[in-house]
Amino acid sequence: MKRSRIALLATSTLAISLGLATAGYAGIEIYQMNSNLGIEYLPRLDLTAQSKSLMPLSRPNVGDVIGSLSIPRIKKVIPIIEGTNAQELKKGVGHYIGSVLPGISDNSVLAGHRDSVFKNLGNVKLGDLLTVSTDYGTFVYKVKKIRIVEADDKTVIVPTDGAVLTLSTCYPFGYIGNAPKRYIVQADLLESEAIQSNLVDV
């Protein structure tokens, strides 16, 4: 009788242990599933406080769509294409490959045609917000400067201390032929929500 009680106790203890182990494993499995549900579960960081060495995991190839540019003032959401050759500019606004990608600390330069994607860029005002959405984050800029420069003015693409978005198009807007000037809109990074898993510190 005593042996039966001992055997029963041992069996109960083993069952409880197995139950706890199963529950623990299930908990780990559920946690892993939740961690892989989507980008909303990934850690995020503010790029405005990061160094210039923080970059997306890979540099896009020429012709790749790297994100979109939203300009509420003119009710436009425009694809951003890597490169500024004629082929890229037919598809959207082109990212100048000599500049950093949007959201990174420095001057990110985007160019577009005045008779298509940037047709109404002249309506943008100081203080307007511009939003760039990419697979490594979303970045909101505030327009701080609007100017007109000569076509060969290289100050448009010079490096900057902070994260700046520069939009460039030919000017005057209604000019027939090769326009002699460039219309420049520059905006400072105001807010950022970056996806850390898609960035690397180089």
Active site residues: 113, 170
Would you give the DSSP letter of residue 177?
Answer: S
Cα–Cα dist 112/103, whole Å = 19
> Which of 156, 181, 184, 150 lies closest to 168, judged by CA?
184
N-terminal to C-terminal alpha carbon distance within the chain = 71
Structure-token pair, residue 196: 């850390």
**Number of other residues whose CB lies within 10 A of the CB of residue 202:** 9
